[in-house]
Structure 1
């Protein structure tokens, strides 16, 4: 179903017919599942981690990826708040603080490593990787956030961009991305 202004039933604009966007069928199916759980906790559960890691196929004329991603960010934050509140209700604030403290400790352990030593290098000399300088500078900011409460938002982490370099001149992208996912998890649980 589409609206007269060209938006799909899920409320997202479609990209031009020849451009790539997210699969409308997959997006609508996931959003329906998430909405059902948000409205009724007895529905099949959806977690903030699941929202953060969901991916959709690229199809011609699909949903605008930036609109869907922005909606997913808001949805992830809502589920993270819900998970925090449920943990506090079920186990008390001390349990939540312990969980947050554990995750912060794990993250801090990597952040305090020396520049150039925070993440592994790609296994292939020709593989694209993230600039160590860019990632290390971002990690210094993250450490300042954790240790001194410097302003930083989960959206800044979600949208961080690093220059691409080749092979062992940079950090392995998948490891950096997985680490940043955990940072977002922590920030969403705190805020």
Structure 2
């Protein structure tokens, strides 16, 4: 992790300005203390080279929304850089212990599992919620799934930030959120593994 990456860990105290821009008016943002505490914990884990905290923990982080909180986009961008730093460390360790050939082979296997899942027919790629329950909008998820397939199969342009930023409207009888989110997380892991 470079010094510029470590800057995202800088929290605020009484004398220091906020670590991120703040929302104004009625716009809600991430709870400042929750973000600061999480970034302090992440920084400590990275500096102590702990193996019980990694990119997946950063990806799973969530914070309460409050008025006058940190701007969401600024925090999310910083979390992306922190996740990248943890993923790079994991990749370096794995390459040292497994070798490049084995590391690439494992990433290809993971990519193939994603492709196999996404090869299902449109509108049937994930389990659906009940007719009265909301889930992710099917056509929007299928569009992102097609983009991921194109990236993994044909090398079509797609960035980690685009996958991380995928957001879907809700619909009754939509795709189950947890399944879609798990596949997006797996896609990010594959993309970071070969970066």
TM over 0.5: yes
RMSD: 2.1
Match of 1:46 among 53, 57, 70: 53
In structure 1, distance between residues paired with 2:177 and 2:30 = 22
Alignment of 1:115 with 2:119, yes or no, is no
Residue 93 of structure 2: aligned partner: 86
| Cα shift readout 1:47-91 (whole Å, capped 9, x = no counterpart) | 000000011222332222221111101111111111101111122
Note if 1:28 corresponds to 2:32: no
* Secondary structure of 2:168 counterpart: coil
2:53 partner SS: coil
1:103-148 superposed Cα distances (whole Å, 9 cap, x missing partner): 11221111111111100110x3222222222222221221111111
Structure 2: where are the runs of 5+ without partners? 1-12
For these two proteins, the number of residue pairs brought into alignment is 183
Structure 1 contact 87–95 (Cα < 8 Å) conserved: no
Misfit runs of 4+, over 4 Å: none
Aligned runs of 1:20-169 on 2, under 5 Å?
20-41=28-49, 43=50, 45-122=52-129, 124-167=130-173
What is the SS of the residue equivalent to 2:57?
helix
Asked whether the equivalents of residues 33 and 46 of structure 1 are also in contact (C-alpha less than 8 Å), the reply is no
Secondary structure of 1:129's match?
strand
Counterparts of 2:51 and 2:38, CA distance in 1: 12
Q: Deviation at 1:45?
A: 4.3
Q: How far apart are the structure 1 equivalents of 2:105 and 2:51?
A: 27
Relative to the length of structure 2, the TM-score reads: 0.83
Which residue pairs with 1:14 in the alignment? Answer: 22
Deviates more, 1:140-149 or 1:32-41: 32-41
